[in-house]
Amino acid sequence: RAVEHSSCLLQFHEDGFLVLEHFFTAEECDSMRSQIERIVEGMEVPPYCRTQFSTKEDEQLQAQGSSDYFLTSGDKIRFFFEKGVLDEKGNFLVPKERSISKIGHALHAHDPVFKQITHSPKVQELGRALGLERPVVVQSMYIFKHGPVAVTPHQDATFLHTEPLGRVLGFWIAVEDARQENGCLQFIPGSHT
């Protein structure tokens, strides 16, 4: 309901982002963390499918661009790994729970906890307040914050094909405290234009 306030909407349209503290309860965040722990515990990825995740263009093309495991992940729950945690055969060099960079891209479709959060009435209400009409959830992911990870500055719309082009609105949920030290999300106000 706070988003419906005209100054919040004006700020969102001007800056391109909006921060909503405590939008999800501590219990909802705990349920997402617990569910991810269960998913990681049951993770089975053949060594030849283990792909490191990167937003750097040359590393993307090398590691992800030729990987069916990555390219066919849009409608599945798949695991992507930190740089330097796999040997040349794809075996883990660190405990598997510390090796994962992210899990994507269809948690919202296949996992009951993430499906419930993604399609909750308050998320739908927020989408309507921000002007979404007939929205489609195109991807979801859980990004691990093991420590500072250099992510190339980017706009999500450049990674997702939409018609019309660039019509992407991301909802970023910090299930843990996010600070510069562990890789918080940062924005340049107005860069959406």
Whole-angstrom Cα distance, residue 175 to residue 26? 8
Range 141-155 average pLDDT: 78
The per-residue pLDDT of the chain, averaged, comes to 86
Greater model confidence, 175 or 156 = 175
Range 178-192 average pLDDT: 85
- Where does the pLDDT of residue 65 fall: very low under 50, low under 70, confident under 90, or very high at 90 and above? very low
Choosing among 1.20.1070.10, 3.40.630.30, 2.60.120.280, 2.60.120.620, the CATH entry for 25-182 is: 2.60.120.620
The pLDDT score that the predictor gives to residue 180 is 80
The pLDDT score that the predictor gives to residue 166 is 78
Tokens 């997402």 belong to residue: 32
Sign of the four-CA dihedral 16, 18, 19, 22: negative
pTM, rounded to two decimals:
0.86
For 25-41, how does the pLDDT look when each residue is reduced to its tens digit (9 = 90+)? 999 999 999 999 999 99
- Where does the pLDDT of residue 140 fall: very low under 50, low under 70, confident under 90, or very high at 90 and above? very high
- 112, 147 in Cβ contact below 8 A? no
Domain ranges of the chain: 25-182
For 88-102, how does the pLDDT look when each residue is reduced to its tens digit (9 = 90+)? 888 999 998 899 989
The pLDDT score that the predictor gives to residue 1 is 56
Range 130-149 average pLDDT: 86
The pLDDT score that the predictor gives to residue 71 is 85
Greater model confidence, 149 or 69 = 69
The pLDDT score that the predictor gives to residue 64 is 47
First to last CA, the chain: 26
The pLDDT score that the predictor gives to residue 112 is 98
Range 153-162 average pLDDT: 81
- 117, 28 in Cβ contact below 8 A? yes
In this predicted structure, the answer to whether residue 63 has a pLDDT above a threshold of 60 is no
